[in-house]
Amino acid sequence: MATTAVDEARKRLGRIGATLMTPLAPADEWRAAAARVEKAGYGSIWVNEAVGGREVFTQLGVMLAATDRIVLGSGIANLWARHPAAMQGAASVLADAYPGRLALGIGVSMGAIVEQSGQEWTSPLAKMRGYLDAMDAAVEAAPAPSVPFPRLIAALGPKMQAVARDRADGAIPALLPAEHTRRVRETLGPDKLLISLQTVVPEADPAKARAIARQAPGLLMPGSPYARMLREMGYGDADLADGGSDEVVDLCFNWGDDAAIARRLQGHLDAGADHVVASVFAPDLPSTADRLERLAPSLL
């Protein structure tokens, strides 16, 4: 039986990966940071994308060329940033050039980001389904990689999770607590890949850690899908105001000393994640690599 993209990813990713998400930095800093994260022993590096600015496939290509074994993933490639045939073609070219080292995460982003780009926000589910149809239609025109790459959907709610289950190799949710990871695994079933992106705050003082966490934009942006998902999990407006109550911050942000952070991330693996990705707060790429190197002995 042929090896599937899920099989390949599970074999190569390991337990813990990392993000590198500084918006703007020279290419040499991206190369150096990627090489440091790989040397520290992480199984993957993920980068994000809005619309315009740092284009995700170009960024992945820079880091793939600067590393030897680590998996590079888009977390996420914004479907509003390109035609679906271009999404399929770009991913296929990188997967062909670097066999087994690409994971494609796709997402619908947020209404505010899309509208800032001059486009009209429409139904996320309809947009995703139509986009996947067009990607599928473009497969034959794109390179055929020797190792299949996984296609993952940024899926927070159960309806998008069902799309990830039925139309992709798995899901890549972010920010939400381990109970959400458990629910996603329940929806996906055992045969799909589940990558959980988790924000890490390496600060043991509760007041300082929570203050840092409340600066994150995830719960603050208008129309935040993270806030909407937390409401569906039973949290009200008071819980989500001003960056979140202490309870919400403690659920969604993995803060503490290195051992505490390791326990929190393990909770997502125990809840059904195949791979957990640590995203640390840092002002620039060298500082991000510093913090990931320090955490590595506890996390890996």
Whether the predicted pLDDT of 167 surpasses 70: yes
Three-state DSSP state, 175 = coil
On the 0-12 / 13-18 / 19+ scale of CB atoms within 10 A, 255 is buried
pLDDT computed for residue 299 by the predictor: 97
| Residue from 192, 226, 154, 153 nearest 10 by CA | 192
pLDDT computed for residue 73 by the predictor: 98
CB–CB of 94/55 below 8 Å? no
pLDDT computed for residue 1 by the predictor: 57
Whether the predicted pLDDT of 270 surpasses 90: yes
pLDDT computed for residue 30 by the predictor: 97
| Residue from 153, 85, 84 nearest 124 by CA | 153
What does the mean pLDDT of the chain come to?
A: 94
User: What percent of the chain stands above pLDDT 70?
Assistant: 99
- Residue 101 CB neighbour total at 10 angstroms: 22
- For residues 186 and 239, which has the higher predicted lDDT (pLDDT)? 186
| Residue from 196, 295, 180, 272 nearest 231 by CA | 180
CB–CB of 199/252 below 8 Å? yes
CA 240/CA 157 separation, integer angstroms: 17
pLDDT tens figures, 59-94:
999 999 999 999 999 999 999 999 999 999 999 999
Between the alpha carbon of residue 39 and those of residues 9, 36, 43, 84, 234, the distances in Å are 19, 5, 10, 34, 41
pLDDT computed for residue 224 by the predictor: 87
| For residues 116-138, average pLDDT | 92
CB–CB of 181/233 below 8 Å? no
Whether the predicted pLDDT of 295 surpasses 70: yes
CB–CB of 82/109 below 8 Å? no
pLDDT tens figures, 191-224:
999 999 999 999 999 999 999 999 988 888 878 8
pLDDT computed for residue 17 by the predictor: 98
| For residues 256-269, average pLDDT | 97
CB–CB of 286/29 below 8 Å? yes
Model pTM greater than 0.75?
Answer: yes
Between the alpha carbon of residue 197 and those of residues 71, 108, 236, the distances in Å are 15, 16, 23
pLDDT computed for residue 126 by the predictor: 95
Lookup result for tokens 């190569």:
12
